[in-house]
Structure 1
């Protein structure tokens, strides 16, 4: 194997992150043929194919994934050195994939993206707001907001904030059906998750609200559940930070309350990258601004 140089590592990272030679070329200011030639030279130098080419772009091979782990550590060290030696003036540029629970990403992050863009116009945020397990160790994301603290792996995590969920119905539903009482919750249809699609234990809390609740509408999306309840469907357990600002909704039985926690996590190799730190600072600012809503 020949010695690698930083320009080759930067090109490899651009191809890995865009999954397209043309996309990497645009990011680096190179034409497609130059990217293809330099990538072929890199593969010859390391003695392994790094990407499988296909009509929809490129995909990392096993060797490419191994090189990616090293390349991101090199990038982190280079960025940290640049920022330290340059007095903190390192440019915040590139893409960051942020994975969050759906409600956090939809109701907290997305409405504030303009702030991040104004502060760092060369930063591209890829937001994945999904209610599923995320593995930073497997590079599902660069930064993640999680519902539990990772138990193991090369991940740095800290408690972000606690949040609350409560029982809600729409004003229209209550006008039509009358008052909702704690001893008659089974009389009302519930919006809830599809149980077989819940892979995060912290989301299995319906029994804490009512032992005999009757889910009639199910969705993997909490935003869809919110919309169904606000539209007059029935009852739902919704995030206070989202539901309290919806004029169509009324909170029921304040004693019915679920509390969970958000954790902010990053792969240990990524935490010093300026673009990753910028996203983490942005999340902290969003939470600080909305703290009273939690």
Structure 2
């Protein structure tokens, strides 16, 4: 079977369009169409149903797409291992994590990693959607729950809790709540319970809402919540990993906390020998250890 035609078929099946596949492959739509027709003739079958809104795989097309997906996955893994050097770490590493953890904890620590490995290129994908590691949507994930796929290597990094914080200036001006009922005199800053977030955070916010805060600011990620807190807008529901890097935050109502949220690092079994994955994993673990040591010095653990 012609490998070039399979590559073009995979691009068309993935994009659902001859035009979009052609853009990815830097080929004209007519050239892509000719290759697909030739592949269908060689297999004596129809791979796509043609519709005005695009292309839909036939049953036979689905079978072939499953095969090309598997091939692409294995080729990507092989290329990653080939690019890795025993003495030098370079090339792309695709990392996915949540917007909050990525922007507020991970990115500020990456200069240390780049200082050690200047040839490393990190493609950081920050979103609440869980990307499919076995299908190579990313190489490494840091997730706020244990991954369910059996074919992943996973390492528990730490446990996070959602707590209540305000800025020192806010407390000086408005005062500090002493009891949960005092929330009726304060603005609450939090994620909307309908937005994508860990269940423990949403449950805590729902509980706080029953005490009728005086005002409300909801943001769809913790970076926005943090900005509201440090700009003295109110009391925010934030993850406790922020305490070290934002000393202007003061914990209020210390008797209030969410359930524990486990943080896991995971990557596909086939990347076990990848130097890029191993140096990133080791770096994150080192930073977690340093983070916890600093919290102990601050009396936060």
Tell me if both proteins adopt one fold, taking TM over 0.5 as the criterion. Answer: yes
SS in 2 for 1:198: coil
The answer to whether residue 273 in structure 2 is matched with residue 272 in structure 1 is: yes
Residue deviations 1:182-201, cap 9 Å, x none?
24223321111122222542
| Aligned-pair CA distance for 1:41 | 8.6
Looking at structure 1, the residues matched to 89 and 262 of structure 2 have their Cα atoms a distance apart, in angstroms, of 33
| Bigger-Rg structure (1/2) | 2
Distance 1:199 1:173, change over 3 A: closer
Q: Which runs of 5+ in 1 are unaligned?
A: 25-31, 50-60
Looking at structure 2, the residues matched to 43 and 76 of structure 1 have their Cα atoms a distance apart, in angstroms, of 30
CA contact (8 A) 2:90 2:121 kept: no
Looking at structure 2, the residues matched to 273 and 20 of structure 1 have their Cα atoms a distance apart, in angstroms, of 30
Looking at structure 2, the residues matched to 102 and 159 of structure 1 have their Cα atoms a distance apart, in angstroms, of 19
Looking at structure 2, the residues matched to 268 and 235 of structure 1 have their Cα atoms a distance apart, in angstroms, of 43
Distance 1:196 1:123, change over 3 A: same
Corresponding position of 1:250: 250
Corresponding position of 2:221: 221
Q: Which runs of 5+ in 2 are unaligned?
A: 15-19, 48-60, 296-301
Greater displacement, 144-153 / 129-138: 129-138
The answer to whether residue 290 in structure 2 is matched with residue 289 in structure 1 is: yes
| Aligned-pair CA distance for 1:216 | 0.8
Corresponding position of 2:113: 116
Corresponding position of 2:211: 212
Instruction: Give the TM-score of the pair, scaled to structure 2.
Output: 0.68
SS in 2 for 1:149: coil
SS in 2 for 1:152: coil
| Aligned-pair CA distance for 1:102 | 2.4
The answer to whether residue 145 in structure 2 is matched with residue 141 in structure 1 is: no
Distance 1:278 1:23, change over 3 A: farther
Looking at structure 2, the residues matched to 43 and 159 of structure 1 have their Cα atoms a distance apart, in angstroms, of 49
Greater displacement, 208-217 / 174-183: 208-217
Looking at structure 2, the residues matched to 278 and 23 of structure 1 have their Cα atoms a distance apart, in angstroms, of 31
